[in-house]
Amino acid sequence: MSNNDLIKWVTSDVDFYDLLGTHFEAPETEIRRAYRKTALKYHPDKVGKDFDPAKYELFQAAYEVLIDPSLKSQYDNYRNAKILKKRANDLFDSKRKQMKEDLEAREKNGFSGPSKRPRNEDIHSESELELKRLAEEGRKRRAARAKLVAENSAPTQAPEKLVTTPAHMAEPLARQTEEDEIERLEKKIREVADAKAKRRAERKVKRTVEDKTASLKKDLNTLKEPNSTEEPATSKKNSPAHKSSSERKPDFSVTMARLKAAQQSRLQSKESKQELEGV
């Protein structure tokens, strides 16, 4: 196949290394050896009536892409970007599932307060670290591939004429794909950080409301205490009056003062309850 025909295979979703029975770090000599060995499964002279033209074309394209340094670099960039994206998605799916299970357990067993918070924070910290690591790996791979392409295209002018045009057609696509993936990961890192800050703010507001509610309840109980203590005192003062009619009756002004104090206490209690309900 010509280089123009091979360009379309640079963005193939098929793993060419698995197809040839080799690995990502294999040198060219090992790729050629794996090709000769695996060709027995696809060559028309070997498989006879079971020959599949489409599979054979794919097999030949995989071999020719992997032995061409420029095309191999472009294919590796595209393949690595896909792997990076899959790993990031798998990581997020795993963390989402774990967080979902934690939330369901908390709803089932009741809110357990601060004891659950450290675990949630650990989960998001791990997510941020993993995303940063994946983004850094992507940057390193991009730099390494760019260096490899520069080294392979430098030696002579003749080879450049053979591969320059197709390389310029496909390299921007592979490079842009990886840059987009890195940008997507960095965006997710920012989203995780924003969500973490939002949760902290919500917890702070909740604690403030709880503290204010507790304070209002305490004030309300304090307001109720004089009423509860006043009645026994009053009954004690009144009980001798039932026993002995000869004792002096309470002064009218004192009685009115007590009634006003009791009414004021009830009004304060009612206002406190209204404040508490408003919170």
pLDDT tens, position by position, 4-15: 678 888 888 888
Concatenated DSSP letters of 91-117: HHHHHHHHHHHHHHHHHHH---GGGGH
Query: What is the spatial distance between Cα 218 and Cα 211, in angstroms, rounded to a whole number?
Result: 11
pLDDT (0 to 100) of residue 226: 55
Q: How many domains does the chain have?
A: 2
Task: Tell me: pLDDT of 46 over 70.
Answer: yes
Q: Are residues 18 and 134 in the same domain?
A: no
Task: Tell me: pLDDT of 162 over 60.
Answer: no
Domain boundary residue, one of 182, 197, 225: 225
Q: Are residues 81 and 99 in the same domain?
A: yes
Query: Which structural domain range is residue 196 located in?
Result: 69-225
Q: Are residues 118 and 207 in the same domain?
A: yes
pLDDT (0 to 100) of residue 32: 92
List the structure tokens of 267. 């009004």
Q: Are residues 93 and 39 in the same domain?
A: no
Query: What is the spatial distance between Cα 213 and Cα 51, in angstroms, rounded to a whole number?
Result: 79
Reported as a pLDDT band with limits 50, 70 and 90, residue 113 is very low
Give the pLDDT confidence of 126-149 residue by residue, as tens digits: 666 777 777 787 778 778 777 777
Q: What percentage of the chain reaches a pLDDT higher than 70? A: 69
Q: Are residues 97 and 162 in the same domain?
A: yes
Q: Average per-residue pLDDT in the chain?
A: 73
Give the pTM. 0.38
The region of weakest confidence among 38-42, 48-52, 114-118, 149-153 is: 114-118
Task: Tell me: pLDDT of 34 over 80.
Answer: yes
pLDDT (0 to 100) of residue 13: 86
- Residue 27, sorted as left (phi over 0), alpha (psi -120 to 50) or beta, turns out to be beta
Q: Are residues 43 and 154 in the same domain?
A: no
Task: Tell me: pLDDT of 163 over 50.
Answer: no
